[in-house]
Structure 1
Amino acid sequence: MSGVVIVGVDGSAPSLVAVDAAAREARWRSAGLRIVHAFRWPPNRVPMGPPVPPPDEREIREMTESLVTEAVDRARAVAPSVDVTHAVVTGEPLTVLEGQSRAGELVVVGSRGMGGFAGLLAGSTAVHLAAHGRCPVLVVRGGPEPAGPIVLGADGSRAGGAAVEFAFAEAALRGAGVLALHAWTTWNAPVPPPQDPAEPYASRPGMLAQAEERLLCEALAGHRERYPDVPVELRVVHGPTREALIEASSTAQLLVVGARGRGGFAGLLLGSVSQAVLHHAHCPVAVVRSGES
C-alpha cells in the first residue's frame, strides 16, 4: 500500500458520491482509504421555526457514527480490496480536512454538502480545500464521461507543472488518454521578440499562435516519454481559458488544473480559472497546487 486517499463525508448525497470516487481512486493507487467526518460541538447552526432543544453530544455522535458506517459500507462495496478506516473528529470541517490532507496523497470531497446554500454550485469546503489543501484535491461534481479523456488545463507556468504530472499519472492509473488544452488570447500571451528590428512592435501573422503551441509542447516535455502508454492529444485554442476548459469538460472523465497559472496575482492561492471550473465544470475537477503555491 503506497499511501492513503482521504474523503470527507457529511451524510449528504454529494458526499456519498465522493466516497464512491475516493474508493476507486484508492483501488487504482493501491492505497488505503480514510473516511473522515468532522462536526462542531456545540453546534452553531440556528434552526428556523419554533425553538427546539438541541441534540446532546451523545445523540450527535450516534448519528455521525451511523453516517460514517454507511460510508464505510459503501466504499467496501465499490472497492472490496481496499483497506478502509474512518475517523469522527470534533472540529471545524474545513480545518479538520486541511489537517488530514497533510498525510494524504489525495483528498476527495463532494461539490456541495449539507451546509451548502441553495444556488451555490461549489461548496465552501471544496473551494477552501482546493486553495489550502496540502495534497491534490478532487472535487466530485457533474456527470463524468467514463470513456472520455482526462482534460489537462496547461498554461506553461512553473506552478502548473504539478498539475501536468498529476494528469499523466492519473491517466496511467485509469487507462485513459490526456487531452492537453491550452487556451490563449492576445491579453495573456507573452509577446514574442520582434523579427524585424525596424518594426519592434510588429509580429508576422500566426506568430503568437505558433509561440503558444511551442509553450504547450514544452509544458509536456518529459511526461510523454515517462508515460509512453498514455495517448496524448494537444489542443491549442484562441479564446478565454475558462470557457474552453468548461466546454471540454462536457466529454471528459476528469478535469485537472493547477491552483494558479501564469495570469495569477502573487499571494492568491486559487486563481480565477480554478474557481470557475470548480463552479461550472461538467465533470469532476482535480486542483493541484505546486510546492510554491
Structure 2
Amino acid sequence: MSVEVVDRVVVGTDGSANSRHAIEWAAQRALRDGDPLHLVRVSPSMPLPTRSGVFRAMAHGAGFVERVRERDEDALQQEVARVRQAFPAVQVTGHLHVGDAPEVLSQIAASARLLVLGATGASAVNRLLLGGTVAAVIHHARGPVAVVPESAQESGGDSIVVGLDDSADADVVAHAAIEEARAASLPVHAIHAWSISAALLSSDVAAAAITEIDRYDEENLARLMAPAEASGVRVTSEVRHERPEDALVALSARAALVVVGSRGRGGFPGLLLGSVSRSVIARSAAPVLVARARDSVREPVDREE
C-alpha cells in the first residue's frame, strides 16, 4: 500500500539535551529546504512513576496519568515556542501522541519527508547500544531516518559521505546521498569498503583476485553515482580495504552527513549492512541518514531496552 509523503521534517523530542540538539539540526534543515517542522513527543500509555515519585503518584491516584499527560503537553508546547522564536521563518507545529514511542515514530516516518532523532545516551556504551527507541525506529521505520549525535559539528562538514555496496537498496542510498549533496551544495564522497586478511594480501593469487574485485567495486561506484552529474553534484569515490564501519566513522569527522542503507550485504558474505549502519550511527561524529525505499518492510524483532 502506498503512503502519501508530506513535505515536512518531523523530529522526536523528549526534553533531553540530545533531542534539543536534533531539533536544532532539523530546524536548520527545514529552513534550508523551505519545509515545515513538526515536533512529536510520545507520552507512554501507562506511565510509571520514578522511584522517588512513587508516593506522590499514589497520592494523585487516578489523576496521575492525567498529570503526566499535562506535563508532557506543556513541555512540548514550550519546545515549539522556543523553536518558533529561534527560527521565525520556519513553520513549526507540535503534537503529543500517546502510545509506544518506537511504534508511533516508525509510523510517522512512513509519511514524513524525514524523521530526525537525537542519538541516545551520553556514554560510549549507551551510544553503542543506540538506545531502545532509536534502535527500534531505525529497524521498523518505512521512511528515511536521521540520527543526530550531540557531538555533531555546529559548523557542518565539507562533504556528504555515503557508504555503498552491491546490495538491492544501493541505488536508493546513492540517490539519497546525491539529493542531500545537491540541497546542501556540497560534493559527495562515495566509498565501498571491505575488510581482508593481511595473510591474503601476501598471496599473489589472492592479490590478482583482489585487484579484480576492486575493479568491479570501482565500476559499481561509478554506476551508482552517475546520476550526480545531471544534478550538478561533484563526486569522488574510493574502494578501501578496511571494515566499512571504521572507514565511514573515520570520514565522519569532516562530513556534514553520512548516508548509509538500512540493510543489505557488503564486503564479505555474512556481513550485514544493517550491523554496519548500526555501528556507524553509534560512533559517527556527523549526523547519519539511514536511507530506505518507502516500501521496505522489516521483519518484527524484539526492541532493545
TM-score (norm 2): 0.80
Pick aligned residue for 2:291 from 273, 288, 291 = 288
Distance 1:49 1:264, change over 3 A: farther
Give the AA of the match of 2:147: V
The two structures, once aligned, show a CA RMSD in angstroms of: 2.9
Residue 217 of structure 1 and its aligned partner are, at CA, apart by 0.9
- Residue of structure 2 equivalent to 1:19: 23
> Is 1:30 matched with 2:71?
no
Provide the C-alpha distance between the structure 2 equivalents of 1:205 and 1:67, rounded to a whole number of angstroms. 56
Q: Matches of 2:195 and 2:34 in 1, distance apart?
A: 41
Q: Which position in structure 2 is the counterpart of 1:197? A: none
- Mark the runs of 5 or more structure 2 residues left unpaired by the alignment: 1-5, 198-204, 298-305
Letter in 2 for 1:150: I
CA distance, structure 2, for counterparts of residue 88 and residue 38 of structure 1: 6
Unaligned runs of 5+ in 1: 188-199
**2:257 matched to 1:254?**
yes
- CA deviation after TM superposition for structure 1 residue 252, in Å: 0.8
Distance 1:130 1:65 in 2: 25
Q: Secondary structure at the match of 2:110?
A: helix
Say if 2:68 is the partner of 1:43: no
Query: Could you say which residue in structure 2 is the equivalent of 1:112?
Result: 120
* Structure-2 residue corresponding to 1:191: none
Q: Secondary structure at the match of 2:253?
A: helix
Alignment-derived partner of residue 135 in structure 1: 143
Post-superposition Cα deviations, 1:138-172, rounded to whole Å, max 9, x if no partner, equal 00113235142111111132212211111111111
What residue is the counterpart of 1:71 in the other structure?
79
Distance between the aligned counterparts of 1:238 and 1:40, measured in 2? 45
1:8 partnered with 2:12:
yes
Runs of 4+, deviation exceeding 4 Å = none
Find 1:208's aligned residue among 193, 207, 213: 213
Matches within 5 A, 1:234-249: 234-249=237-252
- Counterpart residue type for residue 210 of structure 1: R
* Aligned partner (choices 179, 186, 189) of residue 189 of structure 2: 179
Rounded to whole Å, the distance in 2 between the matches of 1:69 and 1:269 is 41
CA distance in 1 between partners of 2:16 and 2:234 (Å) = 36
**Do the aligned partners of 2:266 and 2:273 also contact (CA within 8 Å) in 1?**
no
Tell me the alpha carbon deviations over residues 227-250 of structure 1, each in whole angstroms, 9 at most, x when there is no partner.
Answer: 11x221112211211110111111
Give the SS at the match of 2:108. helix
Going from structure 1 to structure 2, the CA distance change for 1:210 and 1:283 (only over 3 Å counts) comes to same
Question: What residue in structure 1 maps to residue 202 of structure 2?
Answer: none
Q: Determine the structure 2 residue equivalent to 1:274.
A: 277
Secondary structure in 1 matching 2:55: coil
Change (3 A) 1:32 1:202: closer
Deviation at 1:204, TM superposition (A): 6.2
CA deviations 1:38-89 (Å, max 9, x no partner) are: 11133135x3358422262332233212321232133224432222111011
Are the equivalent residues in 2 in contact too, given 1:184–1:239 (CA < 8 A)? yes
1:190 aligns with none
Matches within 5 A, 1:74-89: 74-89=82-97
Is the CA contact (8 Å cut-off) linking 2:13 and 2:20 kept in structure 1?
yes
Normalising by structure 1, report the TM-score. 0.83
Residues in 2 aligned to 1:220 and 1:183: alpha-carbon distance in whole angstroms: 16
Q: Where does residue 168 of structure 2 map in the other structure?
A: 158
**Alignment partners' CA distance in 1, 2:110 and 2:255:** 29
1 or 2, which has the higher helix percentage? 2
1:19 and 1:152 map into 2 onto residues whose CA distance is 23
Alignment correspondent of 1:58: 66
Change over 3 Å in CA distance of 1:206–1:173 after alignment to 2: same
Length, aligned pairs only: 275
Deviation at 1:201, TM superposition (A): 9.0
Name the SS for the 2:152 alignment partner. Answer: coil
Aligned to 1:193: none
User: How many Å apart are 1:112 and its aligned residue?
Assistant: 1.1
Q: 2:144 touches 2:289 (CA, 8 Å); kept in 1?
A: yes
